[in-house]
Amino acid sequence: PGSCQTLCECLEAAQAVRCVNRNLTAVPPDLPPYVRDLLITGTPLARLPAGAFPAQRLPDLRALNLSGNHLRAVEAGALAALPALRQLDLSGNPLVSLSPQAFGEGGSPLEELALRGALRDHGVLLSLAAMLQSGALRNLSRLELADNGLLLLPAGMFAALPALRQLDLSNNSLVGLRNVSFQALGQLQSLDLSGNSLGVLRNATLAQFRSLPALRRIRLGRNTWVCDCAIEDLLAWLKESDQVEGKEALTCAYPDKMLGKALLKINSSDLDCSVPTDLPSQLQTSYVFLGIVLALIGAIFLLVLYLNRKGIKKWMHNIRDACRDHMEGYHYRYEINADPRLTNLSSNSDV
């Protein structure tokens, strides 16, 4: 480690320090106390241990950008000594470990957190959910979780974020929001769900959107909407709501006959509801078909028995006679063995 001027670019007038494309494996220990904006990017920095930022040395640090490094682990207490921190960007790091106690036991005044492309590991997503649910980031107003390939979100992930105003979930692979609760987000203004794999939004989710008074900007573009009977609630909500941004451009992805058709131009008569779409109905149909098949097999079996009744009767008589002869043989041998005279006679007859 050397001086700030050796490892980074220190701008006292702007109260900023920039460490770009330097061979840093740890946070420089001698950062000037005036820094309010710290950028460290393009470095081999791989972990933030406890006390990575010297206690009480950076009292005015408000914006910390650690994006685009090789950061894999953020340990407990790594960000605890930053009392003025308001913005944190960890985007573009291959995180495999994120401690729920990274901000210490007392929580953080953090307001903006960016994790774009940093949650590819499912364990890190669960750790983030635990951190958010603990209330450590209750002051968070902006949360960016885009570009992470997320399929599903942990239940109750946003339950302790009462100040959240912007939530970015774009460019993931979300297939549904059934286990996601937005009820606690009374201040939410913007929700970006574009670029996912959503096929439908259920009525329970739509009811949550209606109940959020500040929510006025929802982005739903570039999703794989399935235009069948299950989408009727979504269509009704789109036509009556002013919350969705660019709703005129939303189109069907399935089935093929509806491909590219605008959702706002679909009528109930356009949807093919003749075939049951729910699983219980499909199972009931399968059970009926199986019962018919088994009944036909039983009828054929009885018919074969009837047509061959004479042969079967003769076969049964033969089996009965064979069993009778066999039993008589056993009975004769039993009588010989039971009578001592017959037993001696039988023994002498061999001489």
Class for the domain spanning 9-278: alpha beta
**In terms of pLDDT, which residue wins out, 1 or 78?**
78
Strands in 29-96 per DSSP E: 37-41, 47-48, 63-65, 73-74, 87-89
- Cα(163)–Cα(139) distance, integer angstroms: 6
Percent of the chain with pLDDT over 90: 68
| Cα–Cα distance measured from residue 85 to residue 246, given in angstroms and rounded to the nearest whole number | 35
Average pLDDT over every residue of 190-201:
97
More confident residue, 279 or 165: 165
Quote the percentage of the chain above a pLDDT of 70: 87
Query: What's the mean pLDDT in 287-291?
Result: 80
pLDDT value, residue 343: 52
Greatest mean pLDDT among 3-17, 248-262, 292-306: 248-262
- Whether the bond into 255 is cis, omega within 30 of 0: yes
DSSP secondary structure, 301-324, as one string: HHHHHHHTHHHHHHHHHHHHHHHH
Question: Across the strands, what pairs with 28?
Answer: none
Task: Kindly list the distances between the CA atom of residue 156 and the CA atoms of 152, 177, 179, 191, 193, in Å, as whole numbers in the listed order.
Answer: 12, 11, 8, 17, 18
The residues, any chain, with a CB within 8 Å of residue 224's CB and separated by 6 or more, are 197, 198, 199, 253, 254
Average pLDDT value for the chain: 88
Give 351's pLDDT tier (boundaries 50, 70, 90): very low
Instruction: Give the pLDDT mean for 177-189.
Output: 94
According to DSSP, the residues that pair with 65 across neighbouring strands are 39, 89
d(CA 339, CA 70): 100
Instruction: Return the pLDDT at 1.
Output: 41
Q: Hey, what amino acid is at 206?
A: L
- pLDDT value at position 331? 65
Q: How many CB atoms lie within 10 A of CB 116?
A: 19
**Overall average pLDDT of the 114-121 stretch:** 97
Q: Which of 287 and 274 is assigned the larger pLDDT? A: 287
DSSP letter, residue 59:
T
The yes-or-no verdict on residue 2 having pLDDT over 70 is: no
Indicate the pairing of strand 37-41 with strand 16-20: parallel
DSSP 154-194: -TTTTTT-TT--EEE--SS-----TT---TT-TT--EEE--
Scanning 64-156, the segments in alpha helix (DSSP H) are 122-133
8 A C-beta contact, residue 165 and residue 142: yes
Print burial letters for 133-165: b (CB count within 10 Å at least 16), e (below 16): beebbbbbbbbbbbbbebebbbeebbbbbeebb
Residue 145's pLDDT is 98
Residue 278 has pLDDT above 70, yes or no: no
pLDDT at 123 over 50: yes
Q: pLDDT tens digits, residue range 212-236?
A: 999 999 999 999 999 999 999 999 9
Q: What is the pLDDT of residue 350?
A: 46
Q: Residue 288: what pLDDT? A: 79
With a threshold of 0.85, does the pTM exceed it? no
Please report, as a single letter, which amino acid is at residue 15.
Q
Give the least confident one: 107-116, 196-205, 272-281.
Answer: 272-281
Asked whether the CA dihedral 164, 166, 171, 176 is positive or negative, the reply is: positive
> Each residue of 18-74: pLDDT tens digit?
999 999 999 988 888 899 999 999 999 999 999 898 767 899 999 999 999 999 999
Higher pLDDT, 96 or 292: 96
Give the integer Cα–Cα distance in Å for 42 and 147: 19
pLDDT of residue 315: 76
Task: Name which residue leads in pLDDT, 4 or 151.
Answer: 151
